[in-house]
Amino acid sequence: MIGNDIVDLRQAMLESNWRRKGYLDKLFSRTEQLWIEGTSKPTQMIWLLWSMKEAAYKIHSRRKNWRAFAPLKLICQTLEIKEELATGSIQCENITFFSQTILATDFIHTVVSEQYPMQAIKVNISTYNPGDCSYRSTDPATVSHHGRFLALAYLK
Q: What domains, with CATH codes, occur in the chain?
A: 2-155 (3.90.470.20)
CA 38 to each of CA 22, 33, 72, 77, 86: distance values in angstroms, whole numbers, following the listed order: 18, 8, 20, 16, 16
Q: How far apart are CA 104 and CA 98, in angstroms?
A: 20
Order of all β-strands in the sheet with 85-92: 2-8, 107-113, 95-103, 85-92, 75-82
Helices (H), the chain: 9-15, 23-27, 30-37, 42-64
* Model pLDDT, residue 65: 78
* Model pLDDT, residue 150: 98
* Model pLDDT, residue 68: 77
pLDDT per residue of the chain (156 residues) written in tens, 0 to 9: 999 999 999 999 999 999 999 999 999 999 999 999 999 999 999 999 999 999 999 999 988 777 777 899 999 999 999 999 999 999 999 999 999 999 999 999 999 999 999 999 999 999 999 999 999 999 999 999 999 999 999 998
